[in-house]
Chain A
Amino acid sequence: MTRSGSAIIIGAGHNGLVCATYLAKAGYAVQILEAREVVGGGASTREFAEGFRVSGLAHVLHPLNPKIVKELGLGAKGAKPGTAIDTISLDRDGRHLTLSTDSVSGAGLSDADAQAYSAFKREFRRYAKALEPMTMNKPPRLKDMDNTDKLTLAKLGWKLRFGLGKISMREFLRVGGSNIYDVLNEFFEDQRLKGAIAADAVIGHHMGPRTPTSVLTYLQRLRGELYGAEILPSGGMGEVANILAGVAERAGVKIRTEAPVQRIVVTDHKATGVQLQSGESIEADIVISNADAKATFLHLVGTEYLDAMFAHRVHKTRTEGTVAKLHFALKDLPRIEGLSEAQLGQRLLVAPDMRYVEHAFNHAKYGRYSDAPVLEITIPSLADTSLAPAGQHVMSVSASFAPYSLKEGWDKSTGDFADKVVALIADYAPGFAAQIIAREILTPVDIEREYKVTGGHWHHGEMSIGQSFMMRPVHGAAQYDTPIEGLFLCGAAAHPGGGITGIPGHNAAKRILAMKAGR
Chain B
Amino acid sequence: MKSYDAIVIGAGHNGLANAAFLAKAGLDVLVVEKNDYIGGATVSRELHEGWQYSNCSYVCSLFRPEIYQALDLGRHGLEVVPLQGGVTFKQNGDYYGNYHQPAIRRREIARHSKRDADAAIRFDADLMKWCRLIRGFLLRTPPDPASFKIRDAMEFASLLKSFYSLSESQIYEFIRFFTMSIAEYLEEYFESDVILAHFSGGSIIGTGLGVYSPGTAYVLLHHAMGDIDGNVGSWGFARGGMGSIAKAIASALQSYGGNIRTGAEVQEIKVRGRKARGVVLKSGEEISARVVVSNLDAKRTFLGIMNPKDLPEYVIRRAENFKIRGSSGKLNIALDGMPDFPALEKGSPLTLGHMHFTDTLERLERAYDDWKDDRWSADPYVDLVIPSQYDPTLAPAGKHMVSVFVQYCPVEAEGGWTEEKREAFGATVIDQIANYSPNFKDLILHVEIRTPSEIEAETGLTGGNIFQGELTLDQLMFNRPFPGYAQYRGPVKNMYMCGSSTHPGGGVMGAPGTNAAREILRDLGKVNTTPEDFGDD
Contact = CB atoms under 8 A, between A and B. Distances in A.
Q: Are A and B close enough to touch in the complex, i.e. CB under 8 Å?
A: yes
Interface of A: 141-144, 161, 166-167, 169-171, 173-179, 182, 186, 210-213, 316, 318, 355, 358, 362, 365-366, 464-466, 470-471, 475-476
B168 A212 contact: no
List the 8 closest A-B pairs by CB distance, nearest first. A177-B473, A170-B483, A178-B474, A475-B172, A465-B179, A143-B168, A466-B176, A212-B215
Interface string B151-177: 000000000000110011101110110
B49 interface: no
B485 to A, nearest CB: 10
A211 B213 contact: yes
Given A142-B172, A471-B176, A161 B146 contact: yes
A176 B146 contact: no
Greatest chain B CB density within 10 A among A141, A144, A176, A182 is at A182
B479 A174 contact: yes
Contacts of A179: 472
Contacts of B229: none
B180 interface: yes
A141 B369 CA distance: 38
9 contacts: A166-B146, A169-B146, A170-B479, A177-B472, A177-B474, A210-B372, A366-B362, A466-B214, A471-B175
A143 B164 contact: yes
A212 B176 contact: no
Contacts of A475: 168-169, 172-173
B283 interface: no
Interface string B175-187: 1100110001001
B145 interface: yes
Nearest to A366: B362
A213 B181 CA distance: 11
A212 B179 CA distance: 9
Interface in B454-483: 472-476, 478-479, 482-483
Given A167-B314, A177-B472, A211-B214, 6 more contacts: A166-B146, A177-B179, A177-B473, A182-B323, A465-B179, A466-B180
Contact of A178 (B175, B212, B365, B472): B472
A161 B214 CA distance: 27
B129 to A, nearest CB: 15
B362 A142 contact: no
B209 interface: yes
A304 to B, nearest CB: 21
Contacts of A466: 175-176, 179-180, 214
Contact of B209 (A171, A212, A318, A471): A212
B418 interface: no
B36 interface: no
Given A161-B146, A212-B472, A213-B473, A171 B214 contact: no
B164 A464 contact: no
B136 interface: no
A319 to B, nearest CB: 13
B101 interface: no
A212 B171 CA distance: 21
B26 interface: no
A176 B321 contact: no
B474 A174 contact: yes
A470 B314 CA distance: 34
A186 B321 contact: yes
Contact of B172 (A173, A213, A471): A471
B217 to A, nearest CB: 9
Nearest to B212: A365
Contacts of A167: 314, 484
Given A170-B146, A170-B483, A182-B323, A176 B474 contact: yes
A256 B406 CA distance: 61
Given A316-B188, A362-B369, A464-B179, A173 B323 contact: no
Contacts of A355: 373
Nearest to B483: A170
Interface of B: 145-146, 163-164, 167-169, 171-173, 175-176, 179-180, 184, 187-188, 209, 212-215, 314, 321, 323, 362, 365-366, 369, 372-373, 472-476, 478-479, 482-484
A225 to B, nearest CB: 23
Nearest to A142: B171
B145 A173 contact: yes
A213 B214 contact: yes
A513 B478 CA distance: 40
Contacts of B362: 365-366
Nearest to B216: A212
Contacts of A186: 321
Contacts of A143: 164, 167-168, 171
Contacts of A177: 179, 215, 472-474, 476, 479
B24 to A, nearest CB: 34
A212 B180 contact: no
A171 B473 contact: no
Given A174-B474, A212-B214, A213-B214, A169 B164 contact: no
Contact of A212 (B173, B213, B479): B213
A167 B176 CA distance: 27
A144 B172 CA distance: 13
A173 B483 contact: yes
A212 B478 CA distance: 18
A174 B483 contact: yes
A141 B164 CA distance: 12
A470 B174 CA distance: 12
A461 to B, nearest CB: 13
A182 B473 CA distance: 13
A176 B179 CA distance: 11
A464 B180 contact: yes
Contacts of B184: 318
A213 B171 contact: no
A171 B483 contact: yes
Nearest to B472: A212
A318 B214 CA distance: 13
Nearest to A206: B212
A142 B474 CA distance: 22
Contacts of B172: 142, 470-471, 475
B179 A213 contact: yes
A511 B187 CA distance: 33
B169 A476 contact: yes
Nearest to B148: A161
Contacts of B163: 142
A164 to B, nearest CB: 9
Contact of B214 (A170, A175, A362, A465): A465
A165 B167 CA distance: 33
A161 B479 CA distance: 16
A20 B214 CA distance: 36
A142 B171 CA distance: 8
Contacts of A166: 146, 484
Contacts of B365: 365-366
Contacts of A169: 145-146
A141 B168 contact: yes
Given A210-B372, A212-B215, A213-B214, A173 B479 contact: yes
Contacts of B209: 212
Nearest to B373: A355
A213 B215 contact: yes
Contacts of B484: 166-167, 170
Greatest chain B CB density within 10 A among A142, A362, A466 is at A466
Greatest chain B CB density within 10 A among A161, A176, A186, A475 is at A475
B146 A464 contact: no
Contacts of A161: 146
A130 to B, nearest CB: 13
A475 B372 CA distance: 34
Nearest to B323: A182
B120 to A, nearest CB: 16
Contact of B474 (A175, A318, A365, A366): A175
A142 B365 CA distance: 34
B63 to A, nearest CB: 27
Given A365-B365, A470-B172, A475-B172, A178 B146 contact: no
